[in-house]
Chain A
Amino acid sequence: MLEDQPKTFQVDARRRLLLLGGSVSLLFSLLGGRLFYLQLLKGGTYRDMADDNRISLQLLPASRGRIFDRDQRLLVENNPDFQLVIIPELAIQQLRKPEKGGNGLLRLLELLTPLLQLEEKEIQAILKQASRQRAFLPLTIRTHLTWEELSLIETRIHALPGVTIEAQPSRHYLMGTLASHAIGYMGEVTESDQNHFPDIDFRPGDLVGRSGVERSMEPRLRGMDGLRELEVNAYGRQVRELRRTLPHPGQDITLTLDMDLQQEAERALAESAGGTGALVLMRPNSGELLVMASQPTYDPNKFISGFLPNEWKQLIQDPSRPLTNKAIQGQYPPGSTFKMVVVLAALRLGKLSENDTVYCPGYTTRQDHRFYCWKLRGHGAISLTQAIAQSCDVFFYELADRVGIDGIHQQALRLGLGTLSGIDLEGERPGLMPSRQWKRRVHKAGWYPGETLITAIGQGYVLSTPMQLAVMVSAIANGGAVYRPFLVKPEEKNQHHPPTKGPAPLWHNHFRAEHIALVHQGMEEVVHGVMGTARTSKLEGVRMAGKTGTSQVARHRRTQSGTLLHSTNRRLKDHAMFVGYAPADKPEIAVAVIVEHGGGGGSNAAPVAKRVMDLYFAKQKGETMPPLPTSETAAPATEPADAEQSSQTTDPH
């Protein structure tokens, strides 16, 4: 090379060329190394990122299971919530006005204004939103379209380019407030909900059951959402659908509740002296609930459509606590309904025999303290059955001495008091069944004998829920078996061979037949005896056994002679209680009622039970029932338009 050049230059040039070639090789291998790193070492990561780029997921919501009552009447369903959606691009393309500056979207909104009563402010908001997003992405103009608006738009849809109606499933409670505590309501999912249901994969903004069956049956009611995997380009426009996973709808659920009886119970409670309270109607031989009523109620539809600010404030500040399910969350002193527990304890321990009588002078004295019977004149010499029938307190003061708190405590627990009943709902309260240990632990004090006396008449520390009382009276009615109450029919695993056997009891008290017969006899006397405390509430044609109770809310004030001074404050008035079962000889149903601040149990709670039980037996005989309310008659919606929509949607054409 370079033959015309000096040798030194030739050598040097060759050296420099080699250097150049080497540098180029070095740089190329640097690039190669980088490509090796990006494509082979990090290839998976970048592949994921590319997929993230191109794949957009669209949720296909699964419909939630419906809820039926025991007669397969639909209680809760999913209604389409109609939404008006526009795709601005189509409007802009097809409504371009001949004159310059014509805005297709604005023109479309002008066309929609008379149909939807759009306000200027709304139009401005829509235009602003449209200017912020790409024109081919849908824009939701209105949700909760009424049927009137819907039909107005549907008939003109061809003149409204870019307008589509989309239906979103929305929970609808057909019965309105009826059985609202059993059914429950829904709310937007929170972190604590996610922790509560770790197996469910919630998405932000999902609705989740907040109470009632909606909550406890969440895993069954909730389906599996489907997914559409869309391929989109860099601007978000859909290119094609890659995959579609169909949603799995949630399971329908059938309740054991009877809406006719439920309605009657809620009405009876509302019309009772107190106006608020709870009623539980249960099958004593299985724990199956026919009624679980709590007054006042609320409208679960409101949790879907939204509350007005003052409506919500009213609801949560209402002193009668409409959101509380008093049947399982209300804890009340059981009062005289507790007396059977004491009798059974005494009989079991051999501290009482059939022919024992106690003399009741109207009071008894312990350590210079007078314990009064409700009947100041006294019952005189009174037998076991009459003591139950007339609810003589002095008789039970005497039994308290004989049995002692430990015996009472043990028997009460065996009948399901002071422990959770295990009902298939959340939020149940355990009540309270005091014992020596309990008092030492909580109050750091010893047990006083006087406390046994007031415990024996269901006062003092003892607290129970109406559900526990229903379990207790069921166990007494069926001879001692304690069942777990339930209001959701069990899943039928095999439809061809439905289970013939009912549920097994949690445990059995194994009362001796002669003991339980004495209690039954006393309870029957309550209703059918001449002196019975509930003698005014006999059922039509069916014999009922029961026990009234008057649960003291505040310490009674008495005059020197012992006469009761009635408080004028309604909040301090006694709760009226009644437990019972019917028919007395072959119990089909057991009931527990509390009328808050209703006064005496015989005159205020027993009639409520009677109304519901009468209806039960009337229905058994095949009488036709009055129609059930739909949500709009039960709870007038604030927007009449909404009500109209729901009435049409419930109509199954």
Chain B
Amino acid sequence: MSAPIKHVDQETSPPIQPADPRADQRGQRTTPVGGLLSIDGTTTLGWRERWQRFPWSLLALLLITSALGLVVLYSAVGGYTGQQETSNIQYLLRQSGRFGIGLVLMFVVAFAGSERVYRRYAYLAYGISLALLVAVFLAGSISMGARRWLDVGFMRIQPSELMKVTLVLALARYYHDRAVVVGFGWRDLGIPLLLVAMPLALILKQPDLGTGITMAAVGMVVIVVAGLSWRMILLSLTLLLAALPVAWGALHDYQRQRIYTLFAPERDPLGSGYHIIQSKIAVGSGGLLGKGFMAGSQSHLDFLPERHTDFIFSVLAEEWGFVGCITLMILYMLITFRGLLIASMAHHRFGLLTAVGFITLFAFQVIINIGMVIGLLPVVGIPLPLISYGGSSLITLLFSMGLIAHVGIYSKHHGRTI
């Protein structure tokens, strides 16, 4: 391994002869590996090859889940007796449109450029996202008590969504470039922590606890998979527990209220406990098979809050019961494992870490959202991936799935050599 990048740890790499000396001069890394794999960083596969290597099963799972999501959404936005049919359809069309845009984006991202295109621009993208976050901090528009959006004339963008993706890219780039040994400690933790901390601080300031927690968790998982020493993991877990009281003090009052009500929602059944109680009633009353499509009383008689966005899982649970919930959760797990499989077959560290980061992002949001809807976790504003109504999170998600697919295309594919 003889990359021109200065800080690559030469000692840990096996001595390899460059296959193409000119590759070095172009600043590209070459990785000829004992005949098994003839692909290197410079490789750009042909369109046909990419088409064949595209992880279609992942796409199929995404499509099935989204279709289920649209069915639930149709019910969630609908009136009880169906007098609002037209607006149901409008919601459905709008969400399908967003899904379409996301899908196109996914394909573009998956098929775009060479194997190393995202690695090259990872830091740049991170920098732009961070700048946008600062801009939000300085001049963002306030909505519902939080400063999250940036008005850019024709549209509003939410830089924290962008940040989730670019943070994963930046972290992956860092560990890829460092090519650290397994079990690294402080030396290779500092900069990644900084990469996480800067946007995290800005996002918590907005405030957006949901995105903040997600980002912290994803960053942590990426660092751990990159090879953080077990001692450090143990140490940081201890530190985290010790820091909990401090974090409690830093929480906003409404955030604390949510945690209180999680553990005793009955304390305030008409106030902050209302959402949790009504959601639990909706979920529990679904029983084994549910009340049937469009027949959930909790959903359709307005007892359920935010039922087409954050609490859409309750609608599914009420109308389709335990069977519906388990079906959706199996789909989510299949997507997760398919993503982890891609990660495990990634060709290099960047691919591994990006795939792990994005799949963690996905799974974490699923777990947090369902956990809060069924009263296991405090209510933080995290939508249910692929199901909740809303554009930015869906498009971000499909964008990250595109990146996973990209990793999949440029990986060893079921023992078949490229």
Contacts and interface: CB of A to CB of B under 8 A. Distances in A.
Interface of A: 1-6, 8-9, 12-14, 16-17, 20-21, 24-25, 27-28, 30-32, 34-36, 38-40, 42-47, 49-51, 53-54, 231-235, 239-240
Contact of B182 (A9, A31, A51): A9
B33 A1 contact: no
Given A1-B412, A17-B340, A40-B288, A232 B317 contact: no
Most buried by B among A2, A40, A232: A2
Interface of B: 1, 12-14, 31, 33, 36-37, 80-81, 179, 181-183, 221, 224-225, 227, 278, 280-288, 297-298, 301-303, 317-318, 321-322, 325-326, 329, 332-333, 336-337, 340, 343-349, 352, 356, 360, 363, 367, 370-371, 374-376, 411-412
Contacts of B340: 17, 20-21
Contacts of A51: 297
B302 A233 contact: yes
A2 B303 contact: no
Nearest to A9: B182
A27 B285 contact: no
A231 B182 contact: no
Given A24-B363, A39-B288, A50-B298, A6 B374 contact: no
Nearest to A4: B31
B347 A4 contact: yes
Nearest to B180: A9
A417 B374 CA distance: 74
B284 A25 contact: no
17 contacts: A9-B181, A16-B225, A17-B340, A20-B340, A31-B376, A38-B374, A39-B284, A42-B284, A44-B287, A46-B280, A47-B284, A49-B285, A50-B318, A53-B281, A54-B298, A233-B303, A240-B81
A9 to B, nearest CB: 5
B376 A34 contact: yes
A49 B333 contact: no
Given A9-B349, A12-B227, A35-B283, 9 more contacts: A4-B33, A5-B348, A5-B349, A13-B225, A21-B336, A25-B333, A31-B367, A35-B325, A233-B303
Contacts of B321: 39
A335 B344 CA distance: 114
Majority DSSP secondary structure for residues of A touching B: helix
Nearest to A16: B225
Contacts of B286: 39, 43
Contacts of A31: 329, 367, 370-371, 374, 376
A545 B106 CA distance: 115
A430 B23 CA distance: 122
A27 B370 CA distance: 11
B225 A17 contact: yes
Contacts of A28: 329, 332-333, 367
Nearest to A45: B284
Contacts of B325: 32, 35, 39
A8 B412 CA distance: 19
Contacts of B13: 6
B162 to A, nearest CB: 24
Nearest to B284: A46
B303 A20 contact: no
A25 to B, nearest CB: 7
The 7 A-B residue pairs with the shortest CB-CB distance, nearest first, are A46-B284, A50-B285, A234-B302, A233-B301, A43-B287, A38-B284, A46-B285
